Amino acid sequence: MNTRLVKVRAADLDSEAGRKAIADAAAGIRAGGLVAFPTETVYGLGANGLDEDAVARIFVAKGRPQDNPLILHVAAPDEVRPLLKAVPARAERLMARFWPGPLTLVLPRSPLVPDVVTGGLDTVAVRLPDHPVARALIAAAGVPIAAPSANLSGRPSPTSADHVLADLGGRVEMVIDGGRTTVGVESTVLDVTTNPPAILRPGGVTREQLEEFLGAVAGPESPAPGATPGAKASAGVPAAVERPRAPGMKYTHYSPAASLMLFIGPPDLVVRTINERAAAEGREGRRVGILTVDEHLGAYQGGAATLLVSLGPADDGRAAATNLFGCLRAFDIQGVDVILAEGVDEAGIGLAVMNRLRKAATRVITVDWG
Ligand code: AMP
Ligand code: MG
């Protein structure tokens, strides 16, 4: 299949070319096609969320396990009503406070939502994205758009149209290039069916923000590092596993081709340990990449690494989130064999960054003085 790439920035939405591109994309969605589009978090791979066959094509294009449910995206809060059994007052308040934005709500679903969207669960995940191009597309399509991240399953999520094309070129009808995404990590998934609500996946809305608004919030459970044996996307659905609350969380995620070792501990010691490890890996003939922060770049210069990549200033969690997936892809483009990554502070959005790093890691190494 030929993948059509069209550039639509927020400023283009008022132009004739921009309107035509959105109208074409919306027609593609209504006709059962796949359209990748920018949101404020990461790029999504969209299909008509009420069309079983179209949604099924998402799983094929991504190589996504069928029991990993999808988020339905809407263009206005009221559009969730037909998708849900009811809208509890607490959900209404969350929508009023955090929508549009990177918060996904899990709620009991209505019969309108096809099983293929929810993996057979009796709940559905819904979100109103804060990106003018995404909202224009959903509004023009006139249907909720089911959209997981627009990467091959298991790979780092895409934060630019280039990332989407690298993974899904030739597999989808259209890619809308809306520039780089701003938040950079996926939405926070919040289960509103429990009391207190539970964070199933940390993301763009922080636990601190939710706690301040709701009082108490449960979760998230910290992810086990690295690949779940048998749960690689290509291996399909693993046999005889219990059904977790957030089905997607058991699969390998966000993984660059290189193996990633994540180092956690006092910054000075982490830097020293990574330098030693880089030297050891280099002696074995492996090409080493180091993922660090601006302040530590100098400490690695002249060392054994072939590629140094910075997430940004050490105290800027938002920058780390914005840059994370692009940094992981940069190592693959340079063909490094092993990535040595510094952990980041888990306050605020750092929790989401560390969640992705832990899942991308084949090993997590905690270091301490003494
Ligand atoms: P993605 O769109 O690839 O970023 O993944 C969507 C995330 O939302 C996955 O972790 C899913 O497991 C989670 N999710 C979607 N629908 C539900 C649901 N009904 N209940 C719990 N988690 C869900
Ligand atoms: Mg994803």
What are the pLDDT digits (tens) for 226-259? 644 333 333 333 333 334 456 555 566 788 889 9
Q: How many residues does the chain have?
A: 370
Tell whether 234 is covered by a domain.
Answer: no
Domain extent for 299: 259-366
Angle at 146 between CA 68 and CA 187, to 5 degrees: 70
Name the domain boundary from 214, 237, 268: 214
Ligand 1 close to Cβ of residue 201 (< 6 A): yes
Cα 151 to ligand 1 centroid, rounded to whole Å: 15
φ, ψ for residue 241, nearest 5 deg: -110, 150
| Contact yes or no for 233/153 (Cβ under 8 A) | yes
Residues 297 and 291: their CA atoms lie apart, in Å, by: 9
Both 114 and 191 in one domain: the answer is: yes
Both 195 and 51 in one domain: the answer is: yes
* Residue 214, token pair as written in the block: 């709701």
In whole angstroms, what separates CA 45 from the centre of its chain?
11
Tell whether 237 is covered by a domain.
Answer: no
* Residue 172, token pair as written in the block: 């989808």
* Ligand 1 nearest-atom number relative to CA 121: 19
Average pLDDT over residues 5-26: 97
Cα 76 to ligand 1 centroid, rounded to whole Å: 20
Domain count, the chain: 2
More confident residue, 238 or 23: 23
Ligand 1 close to Cβ of residue 71 (< 6 A): yes
Q: What CATH number did the domain enclosing 334 receive?
A: 3.40.50.11030
Sign of the four-CA dihedral 314, 162, 170, 132 = positive
369, exposed or middle or buried, with CB in 10 Å at 0-12, 13-18, 19+? exposed
Tell whether 73 is covered by a domain.
Answer: yes
Name the domain boundary from 214, 237, 267: 214
Cα 126 to ligand 2 centroid, rounded to whole Å: 15
238, 241, 300, 273: which is closest to 363 by C-alpha?
273
Ligand 1 close to Cβ of residue 114 (< 6 A): no
Q: Within the chain, what is the greatest distance between any pair of CA atoms?
A: 66
Ligand 1 close to Cβ of residue 149 (< 6 A): yes
* Ligand 1 nearest-atom number relative to CA 109: 19
Phi-psi map region of 154: left, alpha, beta (phi>0 left; psi -120 to 50 alpha): left
* Residue 228, token pair as written in the block: 């779940």
Both 167 and 280 in one domain: the answer is: no
To test the pocket of ligand 1, the residue of 201, 205, 325 to mutate (highest count of ligand atoms within 8 Å of its CB) is 201
* Enclosing H/E stretch for 319: helix 317-333
* Ligand 1 nearest-atom number relative to CA 147: 2
Both 300 and 204 in one domain: the answer is: no
Q: What is the pLDDT of residue 351?
A: 98
Ligand 1 close to Cβ of residue 55 (< 6 A): no
In whole angstroms, what separates CA 164 from the centre of its chain?
13
Tell whether 242 is covered by a domain.
Answer: no
Tell whether 229 is covered by a domain.
Answer: no
What are the pLDDT digits (tens) for 286-339? 999 999 999 999 999 999 999 999 999 999 999 999 999 999 999 999 999 999
Both 25 and 170 in one domain: the answer is: yes
Both 78 and 196 in one domain: the answer is: yes
226, 83, 222, 67: which is closest to 144 by C-alpha?
83
Both 192 and 271 in one domain: the answer is: no
Ligand 1 close to Cβ of residue 248 (< 6 A): yes
Tell whether 107 is covered by a domain.
Answer: yes
240: helix, coil or strand? coil
Given a cut of 50, is residue 7 above it in pLDDT? Answer: yes
Residue type (1 letter), 248: G
Q: What CATH number did the domain enclosing 66 receive?
A: 3.90.870.10
Contacts of residue 254, Cβ cutoff 8 Å, sequence gap at least 6: 154, 155, 156, 157, 325, 328, 356, 357, 359, 360
Cα 133 to ligand 1 centroid, rounded to whole Å: 22
Name the domain boundary from 214, 245, 267: 214
Tell whether 42 is covered by a domain.
Answer: yes
Both 19 and 128 in one domain: the answer is: yes
Ligand nearest the Cα atom of residue 113: 1
Both 210 and 305 in one domain: the answer is: no
Average pLDDT over residues 12-34: 97
Tell whether 326 is covered by a domain.
Answer: yes
Ligand 1 close to Cβ of residue 249 (< 6 A): yes
Both 167 and 304 in one domain: the answer is: no
Ligand 1 close to Cβ of residue 181 (< 6 A): no
Q: What is the pLDDT of residue 255?
A: 83
Determine the straight-line distance between the first and last CA of the chain, rounded to whole angstroms.
58
Q: What is the pLDDT of residue 330?
A: 96
Both 31 and 164 in one domain: the answer is: yes
What are the pLDDT digits (tens) for 154-212? 999 999 999 999 999 999 999 999 999 999 999 999 999 999 999 999 999 999 999 99
Both 279 and 132 in one domain: the answer is: no
What are the pLDDT digits (tens) for 149-159? 999 999 999 99
